[in-house]
Amino acid sequence: MPERPDARWLRWLGLSAAVLALDLASKAWIASVFDPGEGHDVTGFLRLVLVYNEGAAFSFLADAGGWQRWLFMGLAVAICAVLVAMLRRQHANTLVALALALVLGGALGNLWDRATLGHVVDFVVVHAGAHAFPAFNVADSAITVGVALLLWESIRPRAVPDAARASRGRDA
């Protein structure tokens, strides 16, 4: 009887689906409450405002005439495929799998917007006085946290196993 493939990695797809659902629900809510450009101050540094972004991060290529939608969608599909493959291989490493699942969920959220609306719905603006960070959404937040976790995983100190420590002592 053939060995059953390890399906534990699918739980991480569940996290990606939860990120996607939260992202889409929050965008639907904000679009139902605000008109484009309309906003509401939540705190002295946080504002909700409905913004449509036809570009990429920080509105990169937003005024490019429409072709960028297809470019960004193609890139997102390719990136999502790579993320799924990486997630399948890395599912046992909790930190890496968590990071990949967050990035995948966020990428799918913004891909959904581009495919169905032709733009990404952004609605969170963090500001200090006249200085504001570009508007973002739940998907962008998940991507940012996921990338930060991947960076942390790549630079964090690792414990050296006792066997490796002992062999180094003999080689000296």
Residues carrying an active site annotation: 122, 140
Q: Which helix (H) or strand (E) holds 1?
A: none
Name the pairing type of β-strands 131-132 and 46-53: unpaired
Place of tokens 């999502």: 80
Distance CA 142, CA 19 (A): 7
Q: Which residues neighbour 125 within 8 Å (Cβ) at sequence distance 6 or greater? A: 39, 46, 47, 48, 49, 51, 132, 133, 134, 135
Candidates 139, 135, 154; CA nearest to 103 is 139
Candidates 4, 3, 5, 11; CA nearest to 87 is 11
Two tokens, residue 152 = 């942390």
Distance CA 63, CA 53 (A): 10
